[in-house]
Amino acid sequence: MKSIQDLIERLRATGGKVTPQRLFLFRVLGSATNHPTAEELYETLRHELPTLSLGTVYKILNELVELGELDTVDSGDGLTRYDPDTAPHAHLRCIRCGAFQDCPLELLDVKTPEHINGFVVTNQRIVLEGYCATCAQTKPIGLPNSQRTRERRTPSGC
Ligand SMILES: [Zn+2]
Ligand SMILES: [Zn+2]
């Protein structure tokens, strides 16, 4: 996503109106690294903009997607998230708390061919699932609680 000033100029050039609602949304999105959903953006903004509706949030988001300033990301949990970073990158989703983070492609050993058996690749979406740094620290991973309890209760003589 471009700077707010660039966005305003782009919007004016395409005949769009620069409303306070758009400006607020641009500002929140510009600093968002958590890939918010339309509902989350609405919740953040509606206290400052009591006249804002969820429909308007969707409308402004769709405009930005059409302008190529915003990407939609299917996070695999049924939610559509919005990403101001339109450069190619992968994502990390925590299966415990739902945190959704960016992952630079350089960290992955992935080479996507432009053609696969006649199939022309135009886009790639990579979402790695696991535990975020916070969740990975709070509980041991890979051993569900019930399983550990069962092991502990097994009589030693059997
Ligand atoms: Zn987490
Ligand atoms: Zn992202």
pLDDT tens, per residue, the chain with 158 residues: 778 888 888 888 887 788 888 888 888 888 888 899 999 999 989 988 899 999 999 999 998 899 888 999 987 778 899 999 988 899 999 999 989 999 998 899 888 899 999 999 988 889 999 999 999 998 666 655 544 444 455 454 45
Taking the CA of 88 as reference, the closest ligand is 2
In sequence order, the 6+-apart residues with CB closer than 8 A to the CB of 100 are: 34, 35, 73, 75, 81, 91, 92, 93, 94
CATH of residue 50: 1.10.10.10
Does 64 share its domain with 108?
no
Does 65 share its domain with 125?
no
Does 127 share its domain with 49?
no
Instruction: Supply the pLDDT for residue 7.
Output: 83
Structurally, how many domains does the chain consist of?
A: 2
Answering whether pTM is above 0.85, one says no
Taking the CA of 87 as reference, the closest ligand is 2
Does 114 share its domain with 68?
no
Domain final residue, candidates 87, 104, 139: 87
Nearest alpha carbon to residue 42 among 18, 63, 66, 21: 21
Distance, in Å, from the CA atom of 71 to the CA atom of 65, rounded to the nearest integer, reads 6
Tell me how far the alpha carbon of residue 140 lies from the centroid of ligand 1, in angstroms: 13
Instruction: Supply the pLDDT for residue 94.
Output: 93
Does 3 share its domain with 51?
yes
